[in-house]
A and B are shown apart, each in its own frame.
Chain A
Amino acid sequence: MTVLRCETMPVRSQQDVVAVRQSVRSFAVAQGLSLVDQTKIVTAASELARNTLDHGGGGTARLEAVSDNGRTGVRLTFEDRGPGIADIARAMTDGFTTGSGLGLGLGGAKRLSNDFDLWSRTGEGTRVTITRWK
Chain B
Amino acid sequence: MADTSRVVRSDGGRIARVLEQDSSELLDAWITAQSGVLSNRGTISATELRAQSREFLSLLKAATANGPTGTGTNGPAWDDVRGFLADLSRSRAVQGFSPSETATFVFSLKQPLFSRLRRAAGSDADALSDDVWNATLMLDELGLYTTEVYQKSREEVISRQQRDMLELSTPVIKLWEGILALPMVGTLDSSRTQVAMESLLQRIVETGSDVAILDITGVPTVDTLTAQHLLKTVNAVHLMGAECIISGIRPQIAQTIVHLGVDLEDVVTKSSLADAFRMALQHTGRAVIRSAPPANARAREEA
Contacts and interface: CB of A to CB of B under 8 A. Distances in A.
Direct contact of A and B (CB under 8 A): yes
Contacts of A36: 194, 198
4 contacts: A34-B198, A36-B194, A36-B198, A70-B155
Interface string A25-36: 000000000101
A2 B155 CA distance: 20
Interface string A60-72: 0000000000100
A77 B155 CA distance: 31
B197 to A, nearest CB: 9
A20 to B, nearest CB: 25
Interface of A: 34, 36, 70
A34 B167 CA distance: 14
A126 to B, nearest CB: 29
Nearest to B197: A36
A70 B156 CA distance: 11
Interface in B185-218: 194, 198
B141 to A, nearest CB: 20
Contacts of B155: 70
B263 to A, nearest CB: 16
A70 B198 CA distance: 25
Contacts of A70: 155
Interface in B151-172: 155
A34 B155 CA distance: 18
4 A-B pairs with the lowest CB-CB distances in the bound complex, closest first: A36-B198, A70-B155, A36-B194, A34-B198
B12 to A, nearest CB: 31
Contacts of B194: 36
A34 B198 CA distance: 11
B292 to A, nearest CB: 48
A108 to B, nearest CB: 14
Contacts of A34: 198
B236 to A, nearest CB: 10
Contacts of B198: 34, 36
A73 to B, nearest CB: 15
Nearest to A70: B155
A34 B163 CA distance: 12
Nearest to B155: A70
A34 B199 CA distance: 13
B151 to A, nearest CB: 10
B101 to A, nearest CB: 23
B203 to A, nearest CB: 15
A70 B154 CA distance: 13
B77 to A, nearest CB: 24
Interface in B131-160: 155
Interface string B245-263: 0000000000000000000
A3 B155 CA distance: 22
A36 B198 CA distance: 8
A122 to B, nearest CB: 35
Nearest to A35: B198
A70 B194 CA distance: 22
A56 to B, nearest CB: 31
B235 to A, nearest CB: 14
Nearest to B151: A70
A36 B199 CA distance: 11
A96 to B, nearest CB: 22
A36 B155 CA distance: 23
